[in-house]
């Protein structure tokens, strides 16, 4: 099986990260001291829930699409994360603080010693109001999604059109979908994923026949600097709703058609049990933004399904994947959703 191109942690970096994770997982590290700390590992970071605050430290990793390998790069990316996320969550992102090494060798948060890493400090959000939790609990209501649609429509309406060549926008889809095709078709996965070749081929045919539709979205100002990772676990249905965890480390991946991004959110909502949200948000945003043709929205949905399937499978291409039994079934669920209301019947 091919391996995901990345540079793993060397021994010193791994040891240093382990020490920092252990320190940040200790309630004694924080002022005021919380009753406990919940540590959550993600693909590229560790998040620590400590009382009313959350702290994120980035792993010192490098991939083709990001580079957190040096202290300077991690500081810069932390500051970008705060700046960009304040667009949609202005009261959540409190700032960047140093993790310091004191003269006695101890680690400290915002101490007086030498910075050895950087932390994004956030206000902790109520977990029961995160959209994925609300869906699994039987919600949300139409008023919740209308309020979310208002936030998104204002955000996209105020965003400046991307300074992007129309041809480059279409070419990005072609390049990414070629990666989708290669990973989904890996011999290790093909016995399961081969049943969804129609979804992968439908996206490819659309790109062959209708790339000018994508280019026209750029010319019309319909591609903006958006969120980049609009998933239900990043949406909090407080009043008003806030959206966290934008894709801060790669601007190119944030340059999106709002209806592509809303289609992605709808796909992810359907994955956890709420199919209706996609149509509701699309209709809501179309009241104030110029929507593309329905076939382009169908393309966005099928393309995103292939992309998410590929990213799920890519976890299995890591040297030491976390939760290895999770990823192939999840990839197949994405491909099944991509087939539903997809492109194949339209492009035969």
DSSP strand E in the chain: where?
37-41, 45-50, 53-58, 62-63, 66-67, 93-101, 107-109, 114-123, 224-225, 235-236, 242-243, 255-256
**325 and 292 together in one domain:** yes
Rounded-to-10 torsion of CA 248, 253, 257, 260: -100
Q: How far apart are CA 181 and CA 200, in angstroms?
A: 7
Q: Flag whether 1 is in a domain.
A: no
Give the pLDDT of residue 320.
83
Q: How far is CA 110 from CA 17, 68, 95, 269, in A?
A: 17, 20, 12, 38
Going by C-alpha positions, the residue among 198, 147, 178, 168 that lies closest to residue 307 is 178
Residues 6+ away with beta carbon under 8 Å from 324: 315, 316
Question: Which of 84, 100, 124 is the last residue before a domain boundary?
Answer: 124
**166 and 254 together in one domain:** yes
Q: How far apart are CA 255 and CA 244, in angstroms?
A: 17
**135 and 111 together in one domain:** no
**32 and 143 together in one domain:** no
**213 and 306 together in one domain:** yes
Going by C-alpha positions, the residue among 76, 118, 82 that lies closest to residue 98 is 118
- Token pair, residue 68, equals 């957190």
**99 and 243 together in one domain:** no
3-state secondary structure of 106: coil
Number of domains forming the structure of the chain: 2
Burial class (CB in 10 A: 0-12, 13-18, 19+), 281: buried
Contact 164, 224 (CB under 8 A): no
Q: How far apart are CA 278 and CA 284, in angstroms?
A: 10
**77 and 204 together in one domain:** no
Q: Flag whether 224 is in a domain.
A: yes
Q: How far apart are CA 303 and CA 121, in angstroms?
A: 34
CATH at 259 = 3.90.1200.10
Q: Flag whether 5 is in a domain.
A: no
Residues 6+ away with beta carbon under 8 Å from 247: 227, 228, 229, 253, 254
Question: Which of 124, 159, 180 is the last residue before a domain boundary?
Answer: 124
Q: Residue 347: what are its φ and ψ, rounded to 5°?
A: -110, 10
Long-range contacts of 286-292 (CB under 8 A, 24+ apart): 286/259, 287/153, 288/153, 288/157, 289/153, 289/156, 289/157, 289/222, 289/258, 289/259, 290/220, 290/222, 291/259, 292/213, 292/217, 292/222, 292/257, 292/259
**215 and 183 together in one domain:** yes
Residue 228: alpha-carbon gap to chain centroid? 6
| Degrees to nearest 5, angle at CA 83 with 81 and 86 | 100
Residue-wise DSSP of 116-177: EEEEEEEEPPPGGGBHHHHHHTT---HHHHHHHHHHHHHHHHHSPBP---HHHHHHHHHHHH
Q: What is the pTM of this model?
A: 0.92
Give the pLDDT of residue 321.
85
Q: How far apart are CA 219 and CA 226, in angstroms?
A: 17
**15 and 30 together in one domain:** yes
Question: Which of 95, 124, 153 is the last residue before a domain boundary?
Answer: 124
**115 and 140 together in one domain:** no
Question: 197: domain range?
Answer: 131-346
Give the pLDDT of residue 4.
44
**172 and 286 together in one domain:** yes
**Which stretches of the chain drop beneath a pLDDT of 50?**
1-6
Contact 144, 78 (CB under 8 A): no
Q: Flag whether 6 is in a domain.
A: no
Q: How far apart are CA 175 and CA 179, in angstroms?
A: 7
**229 and 307 together in one domain:** yes
């Amino acid at each position: 099986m091919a391996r995901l191109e990345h540079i793993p942690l060397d021994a010193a970096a791994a040891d240093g990260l382990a020490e920092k994770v252990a320190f940040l997982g200790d309630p004694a590290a924080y002022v005021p001291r919380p009753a406990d700390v919940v540590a959550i590992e993600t693909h590229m970071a560790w998040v620590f829930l400590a009382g009313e605050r959350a702290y994120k430290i980035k792993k010192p990793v490098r991939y083709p699409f990001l580079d957190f390998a040096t202290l300077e790069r991690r500081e810069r990316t932390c500051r970008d994360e705060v700046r960009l996320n304040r667009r949609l969550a202005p009261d959540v992102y409190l700032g960047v603080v140093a993790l310091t090494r004191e003269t006695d060798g101890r680690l400290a948060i915002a101490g007086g010693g030498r910075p050895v890493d950087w932390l994004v400090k956030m206000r902790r959000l109520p977990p029961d109001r995160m959209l994925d939790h609300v869906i699994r609990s039987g919600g949300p209501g139409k008023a919740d999604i209308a309020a979310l649609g208002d936030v998104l429509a204002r955000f996209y309406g105020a965003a400046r059109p991307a300074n992007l060549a129309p041809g480059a926008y279409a070419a990005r889809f072609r390049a990414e979908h070629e990666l989708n095709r290669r990973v989904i078709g890996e011999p290790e996965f093909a016995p399961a994923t081969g049943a969804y070749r129609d979804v992968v081929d439908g996206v490819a045919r659309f790109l062959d026949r209708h790339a000018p539709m994508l280019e026209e979205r750029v010319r019309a100002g319909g591609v903006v600097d958006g969120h980049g990772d609009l998933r239900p676990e990043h949406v909090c249905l407080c009043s008003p709703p806030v959206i966290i965890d934008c894709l801060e480390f790669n601007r190119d991946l944030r340059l999106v058609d709002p209806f592509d991004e809303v289609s992605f959110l709808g796909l992810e909502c359907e994955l956890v049990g709420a199919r209706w949200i996609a149509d509701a948000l699309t209709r809501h945003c179309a009241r104030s933004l110029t929507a593309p043709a329905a076939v382009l929205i169908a393309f966005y949905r099928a393309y995103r399904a292939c992309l998410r399937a590929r990213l799920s499978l890519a976890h299995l291409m890591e040297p030491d994947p976390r939760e290895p039994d999770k990823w192939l079934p999840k990839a197949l669920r994405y491909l099944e959703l991509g087939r539903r209301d997809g492109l194949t019947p339209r492009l035969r």
